[in-house]
Structure 1
Amino acid sequence: MPIAPGRRRFLAAAAALPAAALARPARAQAPAAWPDRPLRLIVPFPAGSTPDLVARAIGPQLAAGLGQPVVVDNRAGAGGNIGTDMIAKATDGHTIGLSINAPITTAPALYGNLPYDPRRDLRPIAMAVRAPQLLVIAPGVPARDLRGFLAHVRANPGKLSFASVGAGSGGHLAMVELMAREGLQMEHVPYRGFPQAVLDLIAGRIETMVVTIGAVLPQVREGQAIALACTGEKRAPEVPEIPTLAEAGVSDATSYGWSGLFAPASMPEAHRARLEELAVAGFREPAVRAPMEAAGFEVMGLPAAEFARFIEEETNRWGGLIQRLGIRAEG
């Protein structure tokens, strides 16, 4: 039986109703705003530490751009590995972190059972700061320049000791690299922190160490510790009279301690990119730079791509050194 034109129009309209009914809610549903609650910024070190200082300087800039508070959460332990693992494992979309070189570039080579993989589980947001270190000696060591000190160590193989805050730390690896290049033998004495190591250096219980400038600057200025070289590419403004390693006769040995912002791999790329944009701009702000520069750091503010290349170079250099020399974490 032929269908009347009016009925055909009714059936066609009725058939289209389910699709239209399904399509309307999809069109009406707007994408969820992000962030829709405060962000957690994990710092794998205690309050008052250098990474904590950096996090609290950049946090307000991120908060202003995101329209949500950024809450610093200090999760110290295991040389930064515990907090860095928490950053890597976060899946809530509202957790980021600020870590340093050791948990990112050397921990994978030092620990056989590291619970995270920096390359797989973390995404760089922006590099924050870097700082050179000083090679210092006790006042009783009979040398006043780097070449004289190296000659003294060669003349006394195995009789001198150097301090660090643990295997794989920046100071430890910088000294180990120098020893390997120069054919030196010294005993490694690990400490839990720089303060006690500096006290033992002053007392002559250890002969040398590579240490952050801020940790030993008062003692250097008072003559209680003798600075022989700076590990940076150029002289440090805090001690412009101290030559770089290259100026002192050891080339291609620059090294820095550094920190940067990271997102877990689970965070959507658009959100990570937004954080990168805010962080890079934030590190240009005088209010952010001032406290970090006052503490002796060079503010970098490198975007993610440059930061990722830098991390890869650091991982290859220091991770390769650890593997070549068979260095293992103590304890």
Structure 2
Amino acid sequence: MKSVPMLIVVLIALVSHAATHAQAFPSRPVRLVVPYPPGGANDIIARLLAPRMSASFGQNVIVDNRGGGNTLIGSEIVAKSVPNGYTLLMIAAGHTINPSLYPKLPYDTARDFAPIVLIGDGAYVLVAHPSLGVASTAELIALARRKPGQLAYASSSTGNLTHLAAELFNALAGVKMLHVPYKGGNPAMADLLAGRVAVFFSTVAVARPHIQSGKIRGLGVTTGKRSLALPDMPTIAESGLPGYEVSGWYGLVAPAKTPKEPIARIHRAVQEALRQPEVKERLLGVGVEAVEASTEQFGKLIEREIAKWEKVVKPLGITPE
């Protein structure tokens, strides 16, 4: 008779184990919020990864574009979602700039999100109109020092990375180039090509064909090491401005207090995708290099970036358009 209670205990344990296994993450579709309209680099990267994550999970990963408000709308949706791993946010470097631009965000960038995985580093490239007569970062700095306030640089929007990359350049080089904001990278590039502005910190994707055709000059990439997307281009740091580094990185976060299990599972699925040659090649097409980093390393990057951009934005009193 004693064997009967023991049998019941064993059966309960087996049923409990089976139920736990059945509910292993994910057991239903995952929503990937992209806080940008369709068509941009963030959207392209999300749609590149989503089907591969789906294959790894055995569940659909659904890309949900929630553009508007300089990413605030989509970010708020995720910040206030249930922290269970089923709602994710695709972020870029601008995510860490917004705390300095907006005094009253509807969420706390540092506390309301849990880092998951760093996807890649996107270099920007400092480009100049040929009429400027400079062929390196050092030559541009020398010219800007001779002509304070006379050289104009384009940006694709006030307060975004193309703007702040230039202001960081101004600060570290001790120069003053004037800001001319545009509504997008293409109109900014159009005016650079026409010679209406002197320089532009452009995405690689926008600048590369014009560099290759000789219509503009590439002076250096913004990242700490040379970019595979422009392998022959020196870094700005090595070509005249030591210590300069700006990365247009991309990553995934979840609502704060998301359990470790789904975070680890998502991290593993994304890293598996990033090791695929086809994925690496397509990322390079938009100027992004796949990165392998732990969740903890990604969290530290976010902390550093928030502090870094605060030091650039706050003293200048930059506000979004």
Normalising by the smaller structure, the TM-score range is: 0.7 to 0.9
User: Per-residue CA shift, 1:41-92, capped at 9, x if unaligned?
Assistant: 1111222211112111221222122221001111112322222222212227
- Structure number with greater Rg is 1
User: Which residue number corresponds to residue 207 of structure 2?
Assistant: 216
SS of equivalent residue, structure 1 residue 248: coil
Among residues 117, 124, 131, which one is paired with 2:115 in the alignment? 124
Alignment TM-score, normalising by the size of structure 2:
0.88
- Aligned in 2, Cα 1:78/1:191: closer, same or farther, shift over 3 Å? farther
Amino acid at match of 1:245: I
Among residues 56, 61, 69, which one is paired with 1:65 in the alignment? 56
Unmatched runs of 5 consecutive residues or more in structure 1 = 1-23
User: Which residue number corresponds to residue 231 of structure 1?
Assistant: 222
User: Which residue number corresponds to residue 4 of structure 2?
Assistant: none
Tell me whether 40-49 or 280-289 shows the greater mean CA deviation.
280-289
User: Which residue number corresponds to residue 276 of structure 2?
Assistant: 285
Tell me whether 211-220 or 77-86 shows the greater mean CA deviation.
77-86
Amino acid at match of 1:115: P
C-alpha contact 2:229 2:285 (8 A) present in aligned 1: no
How many pairs does the alignment contain? Answer: 306
Percent identity (aligned): 34
User: Per-residue CA shift, 1:190-216, capped at 9, x if unaligned?
Assistant: 122100000000111111111111111
- Aligned in 2, Cα 1:179/1:92: closer, same or farther, shift over 3 Å? closer
Among residues 176, 180, 188, which one is paired with 1:185 in the alignment? 176
- Aligned in 2, Cα 1:61/1:226: closer, same or farther, shift over 3 Å? same
Amino acid at match of 1:101: A
Tell me whether 48-57 or 87-96 shows the greater mean CA deviation.
87-96
Q: CA RMSD in A?
A: 2.2
Looking at structure 2, the residues matched to 301 and 248 of structure 1 have their Cα atoms a distance apart, in angstroms, of 27
Looking at structure 1, the residues matched to 124 and 180 of structure 2 have their Cα atoms a distance apart, in angstroms, of 18
- Aligned in 2, Cα 1:28/1:241: closer, same or farther, shift over 3 Å? closer
Tell me whether 190-199 or 215-224 shows the greater mean CA deviation.
215-224
Residue 294 of structure 1, CA deviation: 3.2
User: Which residue number corresponds to residue 96 of structure 1?
Assistant: 88
User: Which residue number corresponds to residue 174 of structure 1?
Assistant: 165
User: Per-residue CA shift, 1:253-293, capped at 9, x if unaligned?
Assistant: 02110100111115333222221222222222234323113
User: Which residue number corresponds to residue 270 of structure 1?
Assistant: 261
Unmatched runs of 5 consecutive residues or more in structure 2 = 1-10
C-alpha contact 1:129 1:299 (8 A) present in aligned 2: yes
C-alpha contact 1:58 1:282 (8 A) present in aligned 2: yes
Amino acid at match of 1:277: R
Residue 26 of structure 1, CA deviation: 11
1:243 aligns with 2:234: yes
Residue 28 of structure 1, CA deviation: 6.2
1:53 aligns with 2:19: no
User: Per-residue CA shift, 1:14-57, capped at 9, x if unaligned?
Assistant: xxxxxxxxxx9999673472433211111112222111121112
Looking at structure 2, the residues matched to 282 and 242 of structure 1 have their Cα atoms a distance apart, in angstroms, of 28
Residue 111 of structure 1, CA deviation: 0.6
SS of equivalent residue, structure 1 residue 56: helix
SS of equivalent residue, structure 2 residue 293: strand
Looking at structure 1, the residues matched to 116 and 83 of structure 2 have their Cα atoms a distance apart, in angstroms, of 17
Aligned ranges for residues 294-313 of structure 1 at < 5 Å?
294-313=285-304
Amino acid at match of 2:302: I
Residue 301 of structure 1, CA deviation: 3.3
SS of equivalent residue, structure 2 residue 74: helix
- Aligned in 2, Cα 1:290/1:144: closer, same or farther, shift over 3 Å? closer
- Aligned in 2, Cα 1:148/1:289: closer, same or farther, shift over 3 Å? closer
- Aligned in 2, Cα 1:119/1:330: closer, same or farther, shift over 3 Å? closer
Looking at structure 2, the residues matched to 317 and 92 of structure 1 have their Cα atoms a distance apart, in angstroms, of 28
Looking at structure 1, the residues matched to 244 and 111 of structure 2 have their Cα atoms a distance apart, in angstroms, of 29
1:196 aligns with 2:187: yes
Aligned ranges for residues 4-43 of structure 1 at < 5 Å?
30-31=19-20, 33=23, 34-43=25-34
Residue 119 of structure 1, CA deviation: 1.5
C-alpha contact 1:121 1:264 (8 A) present in aligned 2: yes
